[in-house]
Amino acid sequence: MAYGLLGIVTTFGLAWVSAGVFLALRCHREGRLFGPSSRWWALAAVALTSGTSTIAAFAGVALMRVVPPFVLGIVVPSGLWLSNIERIGRRRPEERHGRIPEVPTLGLALLLDRLHQAMADDRLTWCESRVDQMWNQDQLLAAARYYHAAVKERLPTRERRSARLDARIKAIEGRLDMVRFIEDGASAAKVRAELRARARRERRYERYERYRDDLMRLAALLRHDAEQELIRLLDIAYRFRFYRLKGYAGATREPRVGSVAELRPHP
Amino acid sequence: MALSRRGKDRPSSVDEETIGLQQEVVDEITWYMREHKVTRSDLAGAMGVSPGRVSQILSGGENLTLRTLGSVVAALGARFEITLRPDDDFVTGAR
């Protein structure tokens, strides 16, 4: 009896460690497995997986004693069908109707789904906490350059190209340069010409054409896109586990000078 | 009118185009949210999903399906406009 209990505890313990390792491998490059929002989902997934594995292991051994091997030969291939149900269970939340597909996976698909969502939430919160919307253009640009340099320095050389770090900082600089151009009082005609010239080099500038007659909103949209690009740059840092990357502190918090709300374009 | 197959010669440009398109969609959604003061929690509530699911969508780390995009747009009470037009650098016309 004592041996049986020890066997169960040992199997559960080993299954727990194994589940933790494989879950970490599954979530590689997604960020922190045990982050503020994700930790409970991660623990639940590990507990469910290790519990199910322990039960399956002991049930399997008991079954082998009473069931002829050919029965297992018939039953095991059903995994092909079960994996298909699991795939259905992994549909995106807004695409699902009902929870029936989650039953065959014992809710594991749902737990993993929620874990990935919680990790994405932690990641985005971490990134957003490092970008202050009160920064003025110069501070935002300085922060972007600081983060770019910090990430580039830490990122393995082979990953730098795929992370498109230089393209991202160039995109941020381009948009903030355009904001400055507007805030310096460029006329609407000059802004339109500049937008057209930039759109020829980078197609994404076509997106700004719709606000070419509303310079205040155009500047706000450009700044917004620069911030979004900076968040994407920080997203890389988080995925590569640079959690201790310090927030940009080179600027004191002060109201944005010459904010887009105060813009008065030249006649 | 026949289309050239130049796209096959430039697979990286197709990847970049896809990534760029995805980022543009996310930027458009976040811009709309900012302009209309909609938080991630507000959007999650309107979509009937967790705030984490909204973060997943807005991080742009996954390939957005039209159904997901439709859910977001409907939840925001907005309309999505799509325009397809020839790219002078890409489509060459009849062969």
Over residues A5-35, the pLDDT tens digits come to 888 999 999 999 999 999 999 999 898 999 9
Structural domain B11-76, CATH architecture: Orthogonal Bundle (1.10)
Per-residue confidence (pLDDT) for residue A262, from 0 to 100: 42
Sign of CA dihedral B19, A141, B54, B26: negative
CB contact under 8 A, B47 and A124: no
Return d(Cα A14, Cα A57) in angstroms, integer. 12
The answer to whether A155 and A240 are in contact (CB under 8 A) is yes
Burial class (CB in 10 A: 0-12, 13-18, 19+), A179: buried
Give the residue extent of every domain in chain A: 2-124, 134-262
Burial class (CB in 10 A: 0-12, 13-18, 19+), A29: exposed
Assembly ipTM: 0.83
Per-residue confidence (pLDDT) for residue A223, from 0 to 100: 96
Per-residue confidence (pLDDT) for residue A110, from 0 to 100: 87
Instruction: Extract the residue ranges of chain A whose pLDDT is less than 70.
Output: 1-3, 79-80, 82-106, 251-267
Per-residue confidence (pLDDT) for residue A72, from 0 to 100: 74
**Residues of B within an 8 Å Cβ radius of A:** 20, 23-24, 26-28, 30-31, 34, 40, 47-53, 55-56, 58-61, 65, 67-68, 71
Per-residue confidence (pLDDT) for residue A266, from 0 to 100: 39
The answer to whether B27 and A228 are in contact (CB under 8 A) is yes
CB contact under 8 A, A94 and B59: no
Residues of B in contact with A224 (CB under 8 A): 27, 30-31, 34
**Looking at residue A185, what DSSP letter applies?**
T
Per-residue confidence (pLDDT) for residue B42, from 0 to 100: 97
Per-residue confidence (pLDDT) for residue A258, from 0 to 100: 45
pLDDT tens for each residue of B8-65: 555 466 777 788 888 999 999 999 999 999 999 999 999 999 999 999 999 877 788 9
The answer to whether A137 and A218 are in contact (CB under 8 A) is no
Quick check: A102 contacting B, CB < 8 Å?
A: no
Per-residue confidence (pLDDT) for residue A96, from 0 to 100: 63
CB contact under 8 A, A123 and B55: yes
Residues of A in contact with B41 (CB under 8 A): none
Nearest to B48 by CA among A91, A93, A113, A98: A93
Residues of B in contact with A232 (CB under 8 A): 23, 60
Return d(Cα A131, Cα B95) in angstroms, integer. 50
Residues of A in contact with B61 (CB under 8 A): 120, 235
Q: Tokens 């590689």, residue?
A: A28
CB contact under 8 A, B52 and A117: yes
CB contact under 8 A, B67 and A118: no
Return d(Cα B15, Cα A248) in angstroms, integer. 32
The answer to whether A37 and A118 are in contact (CB under 8 A) is yes
Per-residue confidence (pLDDT) for residue A85, from 0 to 100: 57
Residues of B in contact with A114 (CB under 8 A): 50, 52
Quick check: A93 contacting B, CB < 8 Å?
A: yes
CB contact under 8 A, B51 and A121: yes
Instruction: Encode burial over A240-260: b for 16+ CB neighbours within 10 A, e otherwise.
Output: bebeebeebeebeeeebebbb
